[in-house]
A and B are shown apart, each in its own frame.
Chain A
Amino acid sequence: MAIKQLSIFVENKEGKLVTITDTIAKANIDIRALSVADTQEFGIFRLIVTDPEKAKAALESSGCFVSITNIVGVAIADEPGSLSKVVNILARHNINIEYMYAFITVSKKFAYVVLRVADNAAAEKILTENGIKLIEEKDITSI
């Protein structure tokens, strides 16, 4: 079920981000969502894209250091309280969220939330049991 996220190691140096965005643009790949984790010395650029494998290959050939991380994706209604519901379910079951970010899908009136947890399968099971709709790779491509 998991969603594939690209994690890219970025040293805090001039021009590093340009290489990444240019490469993805040239490979004709859409970025659906992104988040950045940064420290003083480096950052990790996290991307949800339409074709993760192709993006990874393109980035590697321009010298970027990339790994693919499987994360959990859920679709929630774009209305107040939806996100809180998901977070509450996970908290009740003692599932820690390492990080999360969300994006809105214009056409479907849904917000997609991606979550990084220690055990994807466990989180997916609990969310499904509690009536939360999971999303898959094809949902990302078809936005």
Chain B
Amino acid sequence: MQNNYYQPYYETMPYEEIKKLQSEKLVKQVKHVYDNVKYYRDLMDEKGVKPEDIKGIEDLHKLPFLKKDDLREAYPYGMLATDLKDCVRIQSTSGTTGKRVVAFYTQNDVDMWEECCARAITAVGGTNEDVCQVCYGYGLFTGGPGLNGGSHKVGCLTLPMSSGNTERQIQFMMDLNATILCCTPSYAAYIGESLKERGYKPEDNKLKAGIFGAEPWTEEMRRDIEKSLGIKAYDIYGLTETSGPGVAFECQEQTGMHINEDHFLAEIIDPETGEVLPIGSKGELVFTSLDKEAFPLIRYRTRDICVLSREKCSCGRTFVKMTKPMGRSDDMMIIRGVNVFPSQIEAVLLNSGYAPNYQIVVDRVNNTDTLDINVEMMPEDFSDTPKDIMNKEKSLAGSIKTMLGISPKVHLVAPKSITRSEGKAVRVIDNRKRLGINV
């Protein structure tokens, strides 16, 4: 296995040294936010913590948590820790679940973020001989700008495609011999499907690797994408609040994402009690950004549920690895009292030979929650009798029931009838919210 590092000094730093580095940075960062951000000062005063109480990462637990609601409350400038004249960029969340969060960046912040993305690209084998096609959205969304910057830093020829216009994506991919593809996993699957429709075989393109993130996906979906595009598919993780993609990235081992620990300090907590859990426990991921100047986050609760591991990685990186988020705590649906993550349903679909084109509709009828799953049937599954289709629906519903413990109603629908996403896929429609039910 090749060991491709962008910044080998940090990426392979012994853990004891990482801790020392993190401690130094944390002490400085806490003082920085206390001195410059009233919101933090108030939070810390309320908890009775002073910057001088924080002598290293062992004192991290003394600090208050920060939640997305805090960031919304502080919109737009409440979290800003530097002068506006020192900022060169903003990025923003989609704001689909509430008020947008706007994050500010100094030039150093942008450089650090892009270096993180450069590490991700290098880790999948990217060099200055590669052609990197970025079809994440550009603009306020961090996906496009982050990977674009990382690709520049590595020296790849960068195709700043942005999302959408699949016809043009395919034309540039084939004509300009793209070797690395960066987009959401659902769009990667769609590109694979579109290539097949146009008569291309997986070996007809020059792609070798894909870096896919910004939405939850499963191992099964990874294998599907790898097969349809003839590539290795790698996960990348990040959130606008901390910088963007590149907070963590997969190496060629494909067994979890290395967190860039020189910049981001990770903890796992019990989402109910806030108690810090030992490494290896499943819980909510919490980040402290150690280097961000303009928009530093201390103990930011990501709502992503995952597990961390410090097992030695064959790639030689010493950074802790996180599993793929098992669902965001806010992706989780409670249906008839059962916790359901869309990723569980997706895993069953892919295992049963369906494409990841589905929509989950939750509703409440006569005071009972209903779970309907629309799934596109595979063209070869369609025959001339309703019985065949209904049997397939029944069998799929059975498999999903085994996984979730509750019975869904499965509806097979015509291929291509579920709207394709070019950004984040809309997987769940929860009509209970419309009824004013708190879910």
Contact = CB atoms under 8 A, between A and B. Distances in A.
B419 interface: no
Given A39-B390, A42-B389, A63-B416, A7 B383 contact: yes
A104 B297 CA distance: 78
B382 A9 contact: yes
A41 B389 CA distance: 11
A103 interface: no
Residue with the greatest number of chain B CB neighbours at <10 A, chosen from A38, A39, A44, A64? A44
A98 B384 CA distance: 10
Contact of A98 (B379, B385, B390): B385
Interface residues of A, number: 20
A11 B389 CA distance: 13
A101 B315 CA distance: 66
B411 interface: yes
Interface string A111-131: 000001000000000000000
B386 interface: yes
B278 interface: no
Interface string A34-75: 000111011110100000000000000001110101000000
A124 to B, nearest CB: 18
Interface in B380-434: 382-386, 389-390, 411, 413-417
B345 to A, nearest CB: 19
Contacts of A67: 379, 382-384
A38 B383 CA distance: 14
A69 B384 contact: yes
Contacts of A63: 416
B386 A38 contact: yes
Size bin of chain B's contact surface: 10 to 19
Interface in B350-382: 379, 382
Contacts of A42: 386, 389, 413
B414 A9 contact: yes
Given A9-B414, A63-B416, A37 B386 contact: yes
Q: Is the interface of B mostly helix, strand, loop or mixed?
A: loop
A5 interface: yes
Nearest to A70: B384
Nearest to A38: B386
Contacts of B386: 37-39, 42-44
Contacts of A98: 385
A11 B385 contact: no
A41 B411 contact: yes
B354 to A, nearest CB: 15
B384 A44 contact: yes
Nearest to B417: A11
A7 B411 contact: no
Interface string B111-145: 00000000000000000000000000000000000
B383 A69 contact: yes
Contacts of B382: 7, 9, 65, 67
Given A11-B413, A63-B416, A65-B415, A99 B389 contact: no
A139 B117 CA distance: 66
B384 A116 contact: yes
A64 B390 CA distance: 20
21 contacts: A5-B384, A7-B382, A7-B384, A9-B382, A9-B414, A11-B413, A37-B384, A37-B385, A37-B386, A38-B386, A39-B390, A41-B411, A43-B386, A44-B384, A63-B416, A65-B382, A65-B414, A67-B382, A67-B384, A69-B384, A99-B385
Given A7-B382, A64-B414, A98-B385, 4 more contacts: A39-B386, A42-B389, A42-B413, A116-B385
